[in-house]
Chain A
């Protein structure tokens, strides 16, 4: 019963992330695309956590923890490019 709930929830989130894919393709500015990519990354984190409960595989949670930190780095690099104009300080 609980596994069926998790499968339905993960399919719903996967269908909802198609809206973010639409925003990636048709965003007017660069910030919209980056924001949509960040939302897709959050969706990937949630689906990995749910899959680790569906399949009883503990290793997926570690991969989700790595994905969280990678999202952080991506957003900060792009925001620095928007604000300063270059990524590296030299």
Chain B
């Protein structure tokens, strides 16, 4: 009985992660700008990978393999937002423009004052 409930919970987590992952990759081709694309994949891929790996940890139970899966989970949760931030900062300093519908750019204004 408990095993069946755990299987249902892990299957639900894996399906939620698949939905978020596919949404992030859809934003990668639909959004107009590099910064909005970073915004899309930096959040949705993190949530998708974390949810799917956590569902597999629940399915596996306490084990050596689930310990490695928790390592992957922690690394993804640290690395993926950090790399999104670093890539956005590098692209802005390289001089890649935002698209035409952007209202304001506070970071560029900060450059011009200094």
Q: In the complex the two chains form, is A16's CB within 8 Å of B22's CB? A: yes
> Can you name 29 A-B pairs with beta carbons within 8 Å?
A9-B14, A9-B15, A9-B52, A19-B25, A23-B28, A23-B29, A29-B91, A31-B91, A31-B94, A35-B28, A38-B83, A39-B28, A42-B76, A42-B80, A43-B21, A46-B21, A49-B56, A53-B59, A58-B64, A61-B65, A61-B72, A68-B75, A68-B79, A71-B83, A72-B75, A78-B87, A78-B90, A81-B90, A83-B90
Interface residues of A (CB under 8 A from B): 2, 5-6, 9, 12-13, 16-17, 19-20, 22-23, 29, 31-32, 34-36, 38-39, 42-43, 45-46, 49-50, 52-53, 58, 61-62, 64-65, 68-69, 71-72, 75-76, 78-83
